[in-house]
Amino acid sequence: MHGPTQPEAHVMVSALNARLTHHGATDVLRAAFEAVPDIALVSSFGAESVVLLHLAAMIKRDVPVIFIDTEMLFAETLVYQQDLAERLRLENVTVIRADDLAAQDPYNTLHQRDTDACCAVRKTRPLQAALATHSGWITGRKRYQSGSRASLEFFEVEDGTGRIKVNPLARWAPEDVAEYMDENRLPRHPLVAQGYPSIGCAPCTSKVATGEDARAGRWRDTDKDECGIHFVNGKMVRVGATT
């Protein structure tokens, strides 16, 4: 990784957020590709992932796309990932997996005892290793998804890593996502029609009833609402223009 120093990254992020305050996702992506040439896009290929992937593919089809296979995903997600990458003609998709599952979770039961530890082993650590060669990454996070994301900015800096994190869809509403999918005739994740508006690992994702929050089925009946890939040293990292 040969990106800006952390002080330089803070200055860059502040300037980008100020300049792009009234701009849309496409402009944010173009600015991100220009400001951080080695940036990667991290995608779960979940319920709403197709929007960001489609936007990125229209601008830079060879953007590095990182997909974390936790080896506990729904079979439908794995098939969708392959189909979507082909349909959007994404040229640089990398599938990553944990390399120490035999030692860390030999019986695939860690999620039953400690969901945070399971996410760390299967998602957070593999992703951090994959991002080691990148000085920035693009996410599909949106303000409406949870209370911890309510003040999300387009550009952030991760304390600890100094990487620039880009959230082009931060200000999109659920209806914006649905409208974009309809207008561009983008394929839905097959589980959405079955009652899964937010999709993670199979053991920790349940159907959502009418009227429930879209993420209610993620780690149901717990106070957990993030897998951990957006945390550094156990804390949510959100450093924007005011830092």
Residue 227, pLDDT > 70, answer: no
**Whole-angstrom distance, CA of residue 9 vs CA of residue 42:** 20
pLDDT-based confidence at residue 243 (cuts at 50, 70, 90): very low
Domain residue limits at 74: 6-236
Bridge partners for 155 per DSSP: 166
DSSP secondary structure of 67-114: EE--S-B-HHHHHHHHHHHHHTT-S-EEEE--S-HHHH-TTS-HHHH-
Tell me: pLDDT of 120 over 60: yes
The CA-CA-CA angle for residues 162, 165, 170, to 5°, reads 150
Query: Of 1-10, 133-142, 161-170, which gets the smallest average pLDDT?
Result: 1-10
Give the HSE-up count for residue 197: Cα atoms under 13 Å, Cβ half-sphere. Answer: 14
Strand partners, 164: 136, 157
User: Which three-class secondary structure state does DSSP give residue 155?
Assistant: strand
228 found inside a domain? yes
- Residue 84 in this model has a pLDDT that exceeds 60: yes
Catalytic option among 119, 201, 204, 227: 227
Average pLDDT in the 187-191 region? 97
| Joined tokens for residue 86 | 């082909």
In total, how many domains does the chain have? 1
Provide the CATH number for the domain around residue 197. Answer: 3.40.50.620
- Tell whether 111 is covered by a domain: yes
Quick one: what percent of the chain has pLDDT higher than 70?
88
Cβ burial of 146 (10 Å; 0-12, 13-18, 19+) is middle
221 band by pLDDT with thresholds 50, 70 and 90:
confident
Q: Which two tokens stand for residue 79?
A: 């098939």
Helix extents (H) in 88-218: 101-104, 110-113, 115-119, 125-131, 174-183
pLDDT > 60? residue 158: yes
- Looking up tokens 């990125």 gives 56
The answer to the question of residue 242 being in a domain is no
Q: What's the mean pLDDT in 125-137?
A: 96
Residue 229 resides in a domain: yes
Query: What is the per-residue pLDDT for 231?
Result: 45
pLDDT value at position 149?
Answer: 60
Residue 26's CB is within 10 A of a number of other CB atoms, namely 13
Task: Give the predicted TM-score (pTM) of the model.
Answer: 0.88
Please calculate the CA angle 186-170-52 and round it to the nearest 5 degrees. 25
Average pLDDT, the chain: 89
Q: Tell me if 181 is assigned to some domain.
A: yes
pLDDT tens for 15-74 read 999 999 999 999 999 999 999 999 999 999 999 999 999 999 999 999 999 999 999 999
* Cα separation, 14 vs 3, whole angstroms: 16
> How much is the pLDDT for 54?
98
**Residue 1 belongs to a domain:** no
Look up 227 and say whether it is catalytic: yes
Please check whether residue 241 lies inside any domain of the structure: no
